[in-house]
Amino acid sequence: EHYAAEDVRHLVALRERLAGELRARRREGWVDEECRALEATPAADRVFDPDDCFRIKGVRMLDRRGLGVLREMFVAREAWAHARGRPPFKVLGNDTLLRLAAERPTTEDALARIPGCTPTVLGRHGDGILQAIARGLGIPESALPLLRRPVKPRVAPAVARRIGALVDWRAEAAPRVGLDPGLVLPRRLIERLAESAPTDLETLQAVEGIRRWRVGAFGPEILGALAGKDGHAHRRQTGDGLPAGREGAGGA
C-alpha cells in the first residue's frame, strides 16, 4: 500500500504543471480532443493467438525447430501469466524466450545459463520450461512452423510519392512544434491521407482520425505536401492561433 501511495502522490502536482504548460502553448484543445476520442474507443478484448510469437523481434534468427520450441514456450508462458494474474513479459521476457528457442537446453544446469532464467524463474517454472522445450523438440519435421515474408501490397506511384512527401513534412514539422513525429501525424494516418488525397480543408477534415486540432494547426501544410508543394509556403498557424515560430520555440 505504501508503494502504491508513493507511486501516485505527485500526480496531482504533475497534472497541474502539465495543464499550465498546455494553457501557455494553447494546446488544451488538442489534448481534450484526443482524450474524448480515447474515451469513445471501446477497449479491445485481448485474444491470445499462439502464432503471435512469430511477431517477436528477432524471431527470424530461429530455424524451424526453434520456431516450434518458441511457440510451445509462448503458450506455456501465457498459461503461467494467466494463473498468476501477471503480464506475460513479467513472467518471462521475449529475449529469454528467443534464447531458449535458439539454444534449447534440456537440463537444469543448461537452463540456468540462459539469461533471464533466474533462480526465481527456475524455482517457479524450471520444470515447465524444460517440458515446453521437449514438446517443441518432439514436433515432427513436417509439422514445424515455417515463416513466410508477408507480401506487401503494391502501392501506386502517386500514393508512394504522397507518403514520402508527408513523411518529409512531418520530419520538419515535429521539432518545430516540439512533438514526437508519431503524434504530429501517425503512420496509419499518413497512409490514409496519401490514399484519399484530400484537396481542401473540408475533405481533409473528413479523413478518419485526422482530428480537428491537426486540421487547425497543420491543415494547409498537409494539403501542400499532398499537392507536392513546398510546405513552408503553406505554413500559416500552428496551435490555437500561435504563429509557427513561437509555437516551435515553446516545445511540447
- 252 and 177 Cβ atoms separated by less than 8 Å: yes
Report the C-alpha gap between 130 and 75 in whole angstroms: 13
Sequence spans of domains, the chain = 2-40, 50-143, 157-250
Greatest Cα pair distance in the chain: 67
Q: One fold for both 50-143 and 157-250?
A: yes
The topology (CATH level 3) of 50-143 is DNA polymerase; domain 1 (1.10.150)
Report the C-alpha gap between 210 and 239 in whole angstroms: 15
- 76 and 129 Cβ atoms separated by less than 8 Å: yes
- 221 and 234 Cβ atoms separated by less than 8 Å: yes
pLDDT truncated to tens, each residue of the chain (252 aa)? 555 667 677 888 888 898 898 889 889 989 999 999 888 888 777 789 999 999 999 999 999 999 999 999 999 999 999 999 999 999 999 999 999 999 999 999 999 999 999 999 999 999 999 999 999 999 999 999 999 887 888 999 999 999 999 999 999 999 999 999 999 999 999 999 999 999 999 999 999 999 999 999 999 999 999 998 754 444 444 444 333 433 433 333
Tell me the torsion sign for CA atoms 26, 30, 35, 36.
positive
Q: What is the pLDDT of residue 225?
A: 97
Q: What is the pLDDT of residue 12?
A: 86
The CA–CA distances, whole Å, from 90 to 23, 55, 74, 121, 202 equal 38, 18, 13, 10, 47
Question: What is the amino acid identity at position 31?
Answer: V
Which CATH code, of 3.30.497.10, 3.40.50.11540, 1.10.150.80, 3.30.1360.40, is assigned to 157-250?
1.10.150.80
Q: What is the pLDDT of residue 242?
A: 39
Report the C-alpha gap between 235 and 159 in whole angstroms: 23
